[in-house]
Amino acid sequence: MAETANLTESQRRGALTHPDVTDHAEVNRDILKMLSAPGKGWWALFGLAVLGVGIFFGSWFWQIYRGIGVSGLTSPVGWGAYITTFVFWVGIAHSGTLISAILFLFRAPWRQSVYRVAEAMTVFAVMTAGMFPLIHVGRVWHAYWLIPYPNQRYLWPNFRSPLVWDVFAVTTYFTVSAVFFYLGMIPDMAAARDQAKGLRKKLYTIIALGWRGTDRQWHHFSKAYIFLAALATPLVLSVHSVVSWDFAVGIVPGWHATVFAPYFVAGAIFSGVAMVITIVVPIRKIFRLEAYLTTKHFDALSKLVLLTSMIVFWAYLTEFFMAWYSGEPPERQMFWNRLFGHYWWATWIMLICNGMVPMMLWFKRVRHSVPALFAITIFINIGMWFERYVIIVTSLSHEYEPFAWGVYRPSIVEMGILLGSFAWFGFWFLLFTRLLPPVAIAELKEVIPPKLRGKKSGSAPATDAELSGDVAPAPAGD
Amino acid sequence: MAKGILASFDYLDSACDAIEELRKAGHTDITAYSSYPEHALEHALGYGQSPVRVWTLVGGLTGTATGFAFTSWTSMDWPLITGGKPILSIPAYVVIAFELTILFGALSTVIGLFINSRLPNPIPPVVYDPEFSAGMYGVYVQSEKLDTVRAILQKHEPEEIREGAYA
């Protein structure tokens, strides 16, 4: 039975990414400890989030009461901060699926520690993004018209419209990522159930669905997980492509470009991975997870940020080049206007935050410095919001006829909703860190070498050198 | 009332060896417990392909068909030309069909998983130990010949052995 003794490749590599974690029971203790009574810091943040959620719904109710006129949206700019923020949050969501599905299929050895946080981020970011079309339509009580349903007048949505595609893409994305998130959590909920007491035990018993960890359950679970990852991978690429087609299918100068789909997907992953770092840094600090989230994880994440930053910056340059190379005066004027027109500051924030600041990640010292990474990713989050603002607002404000040009300024209500959306996201995220294990327990164990008795005659477990893959492991069987 | 023995192992290779020896001795009703998906256990139990993949395939294809059928039918149901495009704008419907492929495929995978692994299971487990979700490996055998089973399990030095009649 050489099968067990020969550690699989991922286990060996995992032993290198988490060198200080060696025992399976220790993982349960460390991670489930996070679910105990929250500290003062958590309550302070939660209070802030509740306040922000109040601002969010307060602003929205004011808009519902007074009408969409309280926003700055008016001719010619009919899409403003709401759609910008929608695209921003959908983009944030993408890296979660990237880390949980795409890196799972590629067997990236470092994803285990961060993927649960990233996946939770996906679900909550899509939940946040999903609010914005509802806010944006103004008369929210008609929002169900977006969904095809049998009705008296035999009316159906226009399936040729990218906006209807978007409804399908975003709802599918939310459903699949929520299912994926929940499914991955079932075994961890069982682990939490087995150690919890009182009310929490009841709660986890329900969420764990009676999971026992039998061979049969794991066998089907592993397969189902692979298939879900394989389905989520094209889905994540499609969702932001569809979002980009909301713009690219229109003929507005600055929108009508074939580069939009890959450009948006790269931007989404860029902003999302940056957001993962922004979120993971405080979690690691508060819950003392230094053994689970090592510099190796931050290094890998920052390399992803660097790569996608270069793709995004390349796309910016391509857009400017194509505008010049096309020889089309409206297109050229559009991009000149972006750089030096009314919204020049937004464009420069975008270029500096997304193209230049991340270049610091070329240096290993920066990639290994947690405070530096935190600061850089905040810049990226800001830059990526402005990217969408630039695309949407500068294009619409200088659309076709010069007499119809205009200027859009977000109103205080829109600002409140934008600010509140971060609180709404944070509200769910904070609840998540206290109720569900924020680090995937079962997946982490997969990359921690199992306890082996070693040779049948002796009873000494395998040595550390064997476990870390420095020497070929001795066969354990006869 | 079937009788069975539940053994807890600290070491993975001991659990696998025990399973393999039990299978050689002709015992088929073996259940292994672990806190994470361990391929060595699956290998020891001799697993083949999981039928969940059929659920994924059928669900996905149903989604594709539904996507095209639904968009085409609704367009034909009220034939109104918009944007000068044909009533049946297949390229535009690819997006809907694609999204529904993923949606139906994913949901059907989950249904397939739940059916195959008997989830959700509201009955409190009888043959179980909370240590199995922490780090221990469990081996449960149902058999008429409990003495031989116990002897085989003992040989592989389990941490604990429990015996009893289970419904």
Residues A241-254 have pLDDT tens digits of 999 999 999 888 88
Percent of chain A with pLDDT over 90: 51
Q: What does the alpha-carbon distance between residue A460 and residue B3 come to, in Å, rounded to a whole number?
A: 33
Query: What are A223's two structure tokens?
Result: 């397969």
Chain A hits for B16, CB-CB cut-off 8 Å, are 1, 3-4
Query: What are B118's two structure tokens?
Result: 């008997």
Pick the residue from chain B with its C-alpha nearest to A160: B92
> What band does A5 get if pLDDT is binned at 50, 70 and 90?
very low
Chain B hits for A441, CB-CB cut-off 8 Å, are 35-36
Residue A413 has pLDDT above 60, yes or no: yes
B115 inside 8 A of chain A by CB = no
Of A375, A376, A373, A356, give the one whose Cα is nearest residue A365.
A373
**Mean pLDDT confidence for A30-40:** 75
Can you give the pLDDT at residue B25?
A: 82
Can you give the pLDDT at residue A469?
A: 40
**Average pLDDT, whole number, for chain A?**
86
Q: What does the alpha-carbon distance between residue A196 and residue A204 come to, in Å, rounded to a whole number?
A: 8
> What band does B84 get if pLDDT is binned at 50, 70 and 90?
confident
Cα within 13 Å of Cα(A362), Cβ side: 6
Can you give the pLDDT at residue A456?
A: 52
Query: What are A379's two structure tokens?
Result: 């810049």
- As for the ipTM of the complex, it is 0.90
Q: Which residue has the higher pLDDT, B134 or A21?
A: B134
CB B96 within 8 A of CB A163: no
- Let me know how long chain A is: 478
Alpha-helix runs per DSSP H in A18-155: 24-32, 40-66, 81-97, 103-105, 112-136
Name B137's bridge partners: B9
**Average pLDDT, whole number, for chain B?**
86
Q: Where are the domains of chain B?
A: 52-116
Cβ–Cβ gap A5/B13 under 8 Å: yes
**Mean pLDDT confidence for B2-20:** 84
Chain A hits for B125, CB-CB cut-off 8 Å, are 210, 212
Q: Kindly report, residue by residue over A213-231, the tens digit of the pLDDT.
A: 888 889 899 899 999 999 9
Pick the residue from chain A with its C-alpha nearest to B71: A159
Can you give the pLDDT at residue B159?
A: 85
Cβ–Cβ gap B118/A223 under 8 Å: no
Chain B hits for A194, CB-CB cut-off 8 Å, are 130, 132-134
Q: Write the residue in A172, A443, A452 that is nearest to B99 by C-beta.
A: A172
Residues 56-75 of chain B whose Cβ lies under 8 A from any Cβ of chain A? 56, 60, 70-71, 74-75
Cβ–Cβ gap A215/B34 under 8 Å: yes
The radius of gyration computed from the CA coordinates of chain B, to the nearest angstrom, equals 25
Query: What are B5's two structure tokens?
Result: 């023995």
**Mean pLDDT confidence for B41-58:** 87
Residues 6+ apart with CB under 8 A from B45: A215, B19, B23, B30, B32
Q: What does the alpha-carbon distance between residue B31 and residue B6 come to, in Å, rounded to a whole number?
A: 9
How far out from the chain centre does Cα A242 lie?
17
Q: Kindly report, residue by residue over A80-123, the tens digit of the pLDDT.
A: 999 999 999 999 998 888 888 888 888 877 787 888 888 999 99
Q: What does the alpha-carbon distance between residue A351 and residue A361 come to, in Å, rounded to a whole number?
A: 16
Least confident among A81-95, A256-270, B21-35 = B21-35
Can you give the pLDDT at residue A11?
A: 54
Can you give the pLDDT at residue A17?
A: 66
Can you give the pLDDT at residue A470?
A: 41
Residue type for B20, please? E
Residues 6+ apart with CB under 8 A from A282: none
Of B118, B80, B116, B75, give the one whose Cα is nearest residue B96.
B75
How far out from the chain centre does Cα B4 lie?
23
Q: Domains in chain A, ordered, with CATH? A: 52-148+169-423 (1.20.1630.10)
**Mean pLDDT confidence for B54-59:** 94
Backbone angles phi, psi at B20, to 5 degrees: -65, -40
Cα of B110 to nearest chain A Cα, Å: 7
Can you give the pLDDT at residue A471?
A: 40
Can you give the pLDDT at residue A463?
A: 44
What number of H helices and E strands is found in chain B?
Answer: 5, 4
Q: Write the residue in B45, B93, B157 that is nearest to A215 by C-beta.
A: B45
Of B74, B94, B91, give the one whose Cα is nearest residue A158.
B74
Residues 122-141 of chain B whose Cβ lies under 8 A from any Cβ of chain A? 122-123, 125, 128, 130, 132-135
Chain B hits for A155, CB-CB cut-off 8 Å, are 78
**Mean pLDDT confidence for B55-66:** 95
Least confident among A46-55, A132-141, A292-301 = A292-301
Backbone angles phi, psi at A27, to 5 degrees: -60, -45
A304 C-beta neighbours (distance < 10 Å), count: 22
Can you give the pLDDT at residue A178?
A: 92
- Given the structure tokens 């116990």, which residue do they identify? B150
Q: Kindly report, residue by residue over A312-353, the tens digit of the pLDDT.
A: 999 999 999 999 998 888 889 989 999 999 999 999 999 999
Can you give the pLDDT at residue A16?
A: 61
Q: What does the alpha-carbon distance between residue A63 and residue A78 come to, in Å, rounded to a whole number?
A: 16
Can you give the pLDDT at residue B55?
A: 93
Q: Kindly report, residue by residue over A379-410, the tens digit of the pLDDT.
A: 999 999 999 999 999 999 998 888 989 999 99
Query: What are B46's two structure tokens?
Result: 């001799």
Name B7's bridge partners: B139, B161
Residue A238 has pLDDT above 60, yes or no: yes
Can you give the pLDDT at residue B91?
A: 92
Residues 1-30 of chain B whose Cβ lies under 8 A from any Cβ of chain A? 10-14, 16-17, 20
